[in-house]
Amino acid sequence: MTGQPHPAHRRKRRRAPAAAEARRHTVLIALERPRTQAELRDLLGFSNSGILHLLRRLERDGLVRPAERVAGTRVWERARGRG
């Protein structure tokens, strides 16, 4: 026994698909110009891990890309020809 609750007792934490699409759309609008992860986090009110997770999923889908790194800070932009 691992001490983990049975899956049926877990609280559902997944968000509705419409909410996920709204978050994606909001980030793409915010990326009308390149922005740092911190700018996006503060502008949209996401947590550090939340914005990074979303940016990586958008990168996987070919919608955004890391443009450059300035002093250890990644700058993100929309992918060319998409989104």
- In angstroms and rounded to an integer, the radius of gyration of the C-alpha atoms of the chain is 16
Whole-structure pTM value: 0.71
pLDDT of 72 reads 79
Structure tokens at 61: 């889908």
pLDDT < 50 positions in the chain: 82-83
Does domain 17-78 fall into CATH 3.20.20.70? no
Tell me the domain boundaries of the chain.
17-78
What is the structure's pLDDT at 49? 93
State the alpha helices, DSSP H only, in 1-83: 17-30, 37-44, 48-60
